[in-house]
Every structure is written in structure tokens, then in C-alpha cells.
Structure 1
């Protein structure tokens, strides 16, 4: 396995709208981020992943881009962006930008031109089709509910949008489009950025002929026809040849529906495509047959099975990205831990579990202080387009129970992750002097950065120590992973091995004290505790509720 700086890094994701507002308009901005760089440096992270800050009408909070080489007015100016980049580099940190090229905004000049006429030079930059029998060209449904097609009366055709109707899909079959995208990426890299996180990059190749999903229903999930499509590896290899391979950068692809076999191609050790991908299998463990909003209890043995599969199957063949929450997922301490009595302890346990796995860890803003899910009383208090579309489809149009759907939103809604960062106990958590674009979680007086920095036993300092341990111990980065106590429904335990070195990680995912016996094959004479969220030192003593411990053993 090759040693690489991005394998040894820890990434911190910033959702700019919610991080820090510098001018009192209620919206986080670039100057706000720059004002907090010393905080990020103190935490010890290496790379900042910035969710989109490009020009956008904000239909999907910046993931609908109208100008790839300009900054959204809400966030500031290109001069502000330059200052942020310089500030990061001066502190030894790197910047990874979000690349959203499966779709653009319908306000991008390419699309404005594309919809004017069928013979416009930009027409083929997007996916246009005639309707069939008075209906859409096929029966695919959008990720955000409803049809994936929008009728445009100007040319009497439909355009494809796998997300919002204001996010038309780009046509990667068009060579001119691909060249424009590569030129844009090169422009950003030449400005000095250090890599790209690529939004739904495995959707850029659609099945030939755009066939309907069999079964005859008007709207069906067509993922098999646009996830990991026939030419996706050709396109990403071309992108690598034309752009990525010319720079020493970090690249991660968001790839819903990708298997470990897919990942071995996307994130291959030879470096012909990307460094790593985001997988979603572990994020779907609490989804029932009805999908994301059909919430079911998750099982620890299922989590073990998924994580172990990705750890073992990518070993020496690819590289894992490690995450338990982000801007699209609920808060991990609410979802996988206990955000009440054991909030601090379980947040530290989850961090230990994640950071000792093989791969590059991703911290989502607020995770390092144990921010939790939120429960707004009214659907109007939510902002997310996905939540509103789903609520309208299920409750207003479908007549489902309001309380039941609100409960699903409390557990799985994306706005759980998007409430403003909680800096201190002043109004709105110190995020803004104005009215925040999304309400702050009411628990900000207890859970905030100021309190965390004042408490030597806080989650923040625990993360700081995890990051430091990773930099001091190659085994945490490069060691091979093996699961132990496979069938235990309360303890997740595993070893890491590098040459003669071995470490063991023990995590209790329950609120009970649990004893355990290690397998006979795992023998050792000495052990040294690296970290733990209780004061326990004895390796074989029972694990307290949500306890985590890691030891080097010989």
C-alpha cells in the first residue's frame, strides 16, 4: 500500500450557510469561516471540505450552481474566498471544494441557452426528450420526489432532473461540455485549492436509451439506470487524465448505490480515478423497505457486517472514507448514540469507533462538540427542499398521518445537520447577530464551543487527542482491520495490525455494562491504553455504558 498525505489526513466539513455569520444577515459566510480558522487549527484537522459557495439561486442550498467560477452573494466575494484560502494555507491546512457536475442550476447560462431552441449550440449540454403518449419520456422518479422530468413548452420537450426541477442533469455524452468542466476544474486548482469532493459523481452516465423501469407504474425509482452507469469509469478516467493526475490533491466521490466492487474501480490503488468514495450502505441500516423515511431500528451486527465488508474488501485495493454524519445525514450522536444522559460519553465512543478504522476520517461541523438532532414543532420551520417535497407528497397529497411523518423528519431530516453551529450561550448560539436562516437548536446554551473549550473532558479535546494519535501512530492509518466478537449485539470490537504492531478497539454501543471474553487466538502479554472515554485502564474489565477503549498490545 502506498503512503499518501490524504490517507493520513483528517477532513472537517463546513456547511457555510450554518457555520458562522460575519455580517448579521443570518447566513453564514466566508468571512465568518475565516474568523474561526484558529479554532479549526486548534482541533488539529488537516483539510477543510467546503460545501458549495458558488453562485446559486439556492433552490437546494447551493447544490444548484448558476456560475461555477463565481461566489454566491450570500457568502461574500471572490476576494473573501482568496482570504480564506490564504488563511488556511498559512495555518498548514488544505481546502477541498465541492464539485457539482451531475447537474447545474436552470439559471446557469448553459441551460438558459439550451432551452431556447432545439438547434441551440448548448441544447445538447442537457438531456432533452420528447414525451410519450402525453406523459414523461420515462417513468423515473426524482430523488426529491415526483417525476424526474420537467416539461418545457418553449420547445415542447422534457428535460431530465434527478434532483429538483431547478437542477437539470448535464449531458456527459457531450464532449464540449466535458471539456468546459475540466477547464473549470483546472481553473480552481490553479487558484490553489487542494482537491474536490464530487457530488453524486456516479450518476453522470445514464443507461443508453433511458429506458423506463419495468412494471408499468407512472413513477418508479430508476437508480439501476443512472447509478454507476455504462460510461461512468470512462468519464472519471478521462477527468483524471485531463485534470486530476496533474496535481497532488485529495479527491472523494459521493457515490450512492456503489458496491465494494464499484469502489475498487473508483478508488483504485493505481490512482486512475479518485482517491476514495463515500459509501451509503451503513447510512441505510435504519431504512425500511419504504426507503429513507420508513424508519426501522438498526442492529449492531448489521453495522459490523457492512463496515467489515468495506474494510476487508478494499484492503490493499482501494481506500475508505470514514463518516457517520454530514450535511445530508442526521447527527450521529442522536442516531447511533444517546443524545440525552450519555451524550458526551456516546459521542466519544462513536468518534473512537470511527477514527481507529482504516480510511480517512471526516468530521462534520458541530460533531466535535456533540451537536444533536433538532425537533421543530412546525413543518414551516424546516427549510430543506427534500423534507418539504416529501411532506407534501405523503401528508398533503397522500393523506398520511402528520405526527408519523414529523417523527420520521425528527429522526432522518437533513435539517438536523444544518441548524447553525453553536459557538456560545448568547442569542442564536453566537452564530449571528441577526435572525438565522434556520433556527438554532434550543440546546445551544448547554452545547456550544465555549463550554467545550472550557472543559478539559469535553468531546472537543477528545477529538483533538484522536487526531493527534493518528498522526503519531502509523498503525491507525495503515494497519489492516479484523473484526472480533462478531456476533455480539452490544460490543463492536476490532484489531488493527501493522507488521509486529497490533492494537485493539473496544466500543460498547449500549447503555448497559457489558462483560466480554476475547477470542483465544488473540493473546498478548502487555497492553498500553491509547485513549478511552472512562478512566478504566484494565483491558479485560467489563465495558461501562457507551464505553470505548483502545490499546496497543504485544
Structure 2
């Protein structure tokens, strides 16, 4: 049996999220209720029946705060209100109340590593070196050589301050200086304000970047790059665990109800993940790491490599085994920052339905809390972007222009964007086969995928063999079977060229998962002895798995 953990609200016993499923909504692309082409809060509320039917326990919504939208809301200009694009604060209150009435929780996305440069804090900080908020951001008379995650330098000169400010992302997103205790207390006040309003927790954006090496040393410059790779100075920084423990004391320990704190910790290691999620340390309940969604990256994100099931198996198993005795895993394939998993690790052509089901099965039956991103449940795919003019993602647009200026062929760059661009996960939700995919009656802010006429919720809702029905069965299984929620994890083979196989074991029984990650039949070999017991998922049998077949046996 897994060790007993202490939940966020200070309760003794297994965390309530073990048997929960989280559904992420990207508000801009989920449902548009007023016909302006942009999703909104009323659109989310009008589709809660869909989430309840699926069996979702927690709704996580990406930022809806007021913002200039330089990075689609991840550049916040006011943490205490709702951007008019999405609706009103009253409508958010109504959404919270309706979710609670249905027995679901709401997790807000909180961006606390940086703000918008239009936030009043930065306006003050940039006005004068004598201003009271002069040290709320990172300022230097001369910048170091760091590059931004979104291309270009990580420093921009400010005339009003006559100094440079740090921005690890766009220049519209200056980094907060968490070394300043006033900054930390201001963030904690924001969190308490939303929790008092009824929110049930937060997904903390890039939270493992909040602590930087205060010396801000120059970074090594990789071959072919203009700027230094600052990762060693900003990832899992020297005081990040101290800051998160303080956050827990100042915020979460003050509430006696079921809350959830999830941290996005891109590029973190298993060893750091253990620290972040160790219940005794009281920092985070789980982390969203990147290792399993970077196996098709070469030297950097846009250097696209072929899918390798061995690399995937190694990384997933490492996190399963690494957090087996301490902490808890998040389980996800897609989110607003990732392309569609069926197009990456599956087959979005002939075997789309089969591979979408397999990917869902493998994800949901590991040890951890599954995160379903809007559209996962119907097997949405990447978008066939024809030119850079069709792309909105600031990261992709910046890279395109930088790469073309450096001499790369535009079509080669577009091929990388079609594979990895974040807009793949941001095209509108495909509700039906109407011109606006049921997302909007107007012109959508980002083009609808042309395949929405075939891939949509309406087409799959009444089909017991659909991807949608398969997701519903997996969610029900997690709710009903303690093996899924609380069983341990054992990898059954670390070398099969096509198959990812593992066992979940609990005092109530065992589940064995066999998944063929290929479009060819897979001879199970020694794994064939695992094909016994009740077939919970799948329709085949025998020592050979069909293309993209996943089977689950209960013993």
C-alpha cells in the first residue's frame, strides 16, 4: 500500500485527488456564448453537462484575468478581476457556484513568476529607481547574456527607469523578484482573495522559475545560438522550496477544506519532483513536469525527432518509480502549451481512434491524477497550418522569423511549427460539424481544424465505441476501482520494441496494461503470460496485439 499522505487542507489520509480527474479548459477556445469568436465564461457554464457526463471532478481554467493578451492571458494586468473578453467577475462567481452544486471543484491558473508590463506594480517599478516598488522586478544597469524562452534576449531597456528589466518570456512579461518579501506577500494575498471567493486551488504557472540565482551570472552559449542558456540559473532555483513552503504556511494552512495546489515545473528532475510533492515538506500536491512530452525534441523544441516508445517508457517509469514512496504524479498528454498527442505519439490517420484510446488507457491507468485537456476526449489532432500568417502563438511566430532570418527555409520552419506549435492545442473545441464547430456562431479567433466535420463531440456522444465513450469508462474505472487510485506500479518490460506494459497492484487485486505503440502487430513474447484474468478493456486475446491495441486484464 502507498504511504499515507497529508492533503493540502491538513487532513490525515490519502489526498482526495488520488481518485479525481482534472479537466483543463483554455477559455479562449472552449465555447463562445456571445458569438464574438472568442470563448467565454458563459460558454464554459453552458457546457458543464458535458464535464459532468464525463465524470470530471475538477475544472482547471487557464487565465481569465484582465490582460493585454501578449501571451493570451499569461501576462496579467489585474489579478482581482475578469477580462471583459471572457465576461465578468459575477459570471465567474456563478460558474464557481454551479460547479460546487454539481459536486465539482474549480482550480484557477495563477501566473506569479511574472506579470504584464501593464500591471500597476510594473508601471510603478519602471517609473523611478526611488519608487517604493523599485525592487519588485529584476533590474540591472547592464544586462547579462541570457536568452528568453520565447527567442531573443531576456532583457529589455526601459527609458523611464534608465535600466534593463528581466523577462524570461516576452518583453511584455517582466519577471517578479521573489527575493523581495513584499512581492511574496502580495502574491499570497491574491491567492487568499480567490480562495475566499470559493476557488478550490491553483495551477501555478512555471512555478519552478520563481527563484533565480541572485548573482545573475552569464550563461553558456550553445552552438548556433546568440544568447546564453540561462536554465541553470533559473530552473529549480536556490530558494524555490523555501518560497513554496512559505506559501503553504501563509495560504493553504489557513483553510480547512479540500484544496489543490499543482505546480508547472518544466524541465525539473525526478529528484526535485520528490521534494516538491513530499507531503512532509508541504509545498505542492503534484507537479506538471515535461520529461515525457519532450522525447520527440532534439537539441531544442523545434528540432523534431521521431517518436520512440522506449524513451517514453523510460521517462514515464522513472517518474512512477521515483515518486512511488514520496509524493504524487500528475498524468497528462496535452495542454495549452502542447501539440495534440494523437498527432505526436499516436497515428492521426488510419489508426486515429485506436491510438487515441490506447494513449488514454496508458495515461489514466498509471499511478497519479489524470489531466484531460479539452478535445483529448474526442481525439482532436494537430492543425494543418499552411503559413505563418495562420499562426497566433507568440513563441512560434518569434521562432519563425528568427529562424528564417538566420537562413533556414521557410517551409522547413513551418514543418516544425506544424508539429510543435502551441496553437495545435488552442484551435477551437470541436462540438459538432457546423461551420464554427459548435464553438461559435461568429468568426473564430483561431481557425477551426478542418477535420471537425468528422471529429466532434456530437458524432461520438452516442457511440459506445468512440474515443469519448472510452474516456468516460476510464474515468469511471478510476472512481470505482481502488487499484487505479491507490495501487502501486511495476514496469513489466523495459525492452520490448513496441509495447509498454505495466502492472498496478493493490490489496484488492491487480490490473495489467499491455499497449502496442505501433501500426504493426506486436508479438508479446514473454509478456503473453500476462494475458489472463478478466478482460476489462479491449476485445482481443492471445499472444499478439493488433496495431495500436491496448488491453487491460484484472486479476
- TM bin, normalised by shorter chain, reads over 0.9
Q: Is this contact kept in 1: 2:275–2:281, CA < 8 A?
A: no
TM superposition shift of 1:244: 1.7
Does residue 89 of structure 2 align to residue 63 of structure 1? no
Does residue 55 of structure 2 align to residue 44 of structure 1? yes
Does residue 159 of structure 2 align to residue 148 of structure 1? no
Residue in structure 1 matching 2:267, options 257, 278, 292: 257
> Residue in 2 aligned with 1:109?
120
Q: Deviations over 1:179-214 (max 9, x none)?
A: 111011001001111110000000001002100014
Secondary structure (helix, strand or coil) at the match of 2:301 reads: strand
Q: Is this contact kept in 2: 1:14–1:49, CA < 8 A?
A: yes
TM superposition shift of 1:542: 1.1
Residue in structure 2 matching 1:180, options 183, 186, 195: 186
Does residue 319 of structure 2 align to residue 336 of structure 1? no
- How far apart, in 2, do the equivalents of 1:355 and 1:146 lie? 38
TM superposition shift of 1:218: 5.3
CA-based RMSD of the aligned residues comes to 1.4
- How far apart, in 2, do the equivalents of 1:499 and 1:6 lie? 20
> Residue in 2 aligned with 1:134?
none
Does residue 318 of structure 2 align to residue 309 of structure 1? yes
TM superposition shift of 1:518: 3.4
TM superposition shift of 1:307: 0.7
Q: What residue ranges of structure 2 are gaps of 5+ in the alignment? A: 5-13
Does residue 143 of structure 2 align to residue 120 of structure 1? no
> Residue in 1 aligned with 2:10?
none
> Residue in 1 aligned with 2:449?
441
Residue in structure 2 matching 1:410, options 418, 424, 428: 418
Q: What residue ranges of structure 1 are gaps of 5+ in the alignment? A: 132-136
> Residue in 1 aligned with 2:394?
385
> Residue in 2 aligned with 1:453?
461
Q: Is this contact kept in 2: 1:269–1:316, CA < 8 A?
A: no
Alignment of structure 1 residues 34-433 onto 2, 5 Å: 34-131=45-142, 137-214=143-220, 219-247=227-255, 248-270=258-280, 272-289=282-299, 291-395=300-404, 397-433=405-441
TM-score (norm. length: structure 1): 0.95
TM superposition shift of 1:455: 1.7
Alignment of structure 1 residues 530-545 onto 2, 5 Å: 530-532=536-538, 535-536=539-540, 538=541, 540-545=542-547
Q: Deviations over 1:115-174 (max 9, x none)?
A: 11001011111111101xxxxx10110000000000012221000000000000000011
How many residues matched? 540
Does residue 514 of structure 2 align to residue 506 of structure 1? yes
Secondary structure (helix, strand or coil) at the match of 1:125 reads: coil
TM-score (norm. length: structure 2): 0.95
TM superposition shift of 1:541: 3.4
TM superposition shift of 1:88: 0.8
Secondary structure (helix, strand or coil) at the match of 2:60 reads: strand
Secondary structure (helix, strand or coil) at the match of 2:451 reads: helix
- How far apart, in 2, do the equivalents of 1:249 and 1:145 lie? 36
Secondary structure (helix, strand or coil) at the match of 1:288 reads: coil
Secondary structure (helix, strand or coil) at the match of 2:135 reads: helix
Q: Is this contact kept in 2: 1:269–1:319, CA < 8 A?
A: no
**Structure 1 residues 120 and 195: CA distance shift in structure 2, 3 A:** same
Q: Is this contact kept in 2: 1:253–1:274, CA < 8 A?
A: yes
**Structure 1 residues 542 and 215: CA distance shift in structure 2, 3 A:** closer
> Residue in 1 aligned with 2:8?
none
TM superposition shift of 1:454: 2.9
Q: Is this contact kept in 2: 1:485–1:518, CA < 8 A?
A: no
Does residue 32 of structure 2 align to residue 24 of structure 1? no
> Residue in 1 aligned with 2:9?
none
Secondary structure (helix, strand or coil) at the match of 1:213 reads: coil
- How far apart, in 2, do the equivalents of 1:458 and 1:88 lie? 26
